[in-house]
Amino acid sequence: MIIPVRCFTCGKVVGSLYEKYLKLLGEYGAEENGNSETPAKRALDELGLTRYCCRRMLLTHVDLIDDLLLYTPKARQARAAEQK
């Protein structure tokens, strides 16, 4: 769904960091320097998220909005028209 604006536990604003997090994941995932740190750890460290409660908010988020949009009435009508 939509990333929560604040951390559920401590209340720190994390919603504005999600897009930066995804961008950093893409950059660090492409690099393979033999670094022992995972791309997620490096990205979260660079964003300044030190509390594990805030890190959890970004690590465990699943973006389902694109999947849910397939089930709107307009999308169903479009799929039905394609099948005919």
What's the confidence (pLDDT) of residue 46? 95
Non-local CB neighbours of 65 within 8 Å, separated by 6+ positions: 1, 2
Distance CA 49, CA 55 (A): 6
Distance CA 27, CA 31 (A): 7
What's the confidence (pLDDT) of residue 1? 63
Rounded to 5°, angle at Cα 72 from 66 and 73: 155
Task: Pick out the chain residues at pLDDT < 50.
Answer: none
What's the confidence (pLDDT) of residue 62? 87
What pTM did the predictor assign? 0.72
> What residue spans define the domains of the chain?
15-83
Distance CA 42, CA 27 (A): 10
What's the confidence (pLDDT) of residue 71? 86
Q: What is the CATH number of domain 15-83?
A: 1.10.10.60
Query: Given the structure tokens 């300044």, which residue do they identify?
Result: 48
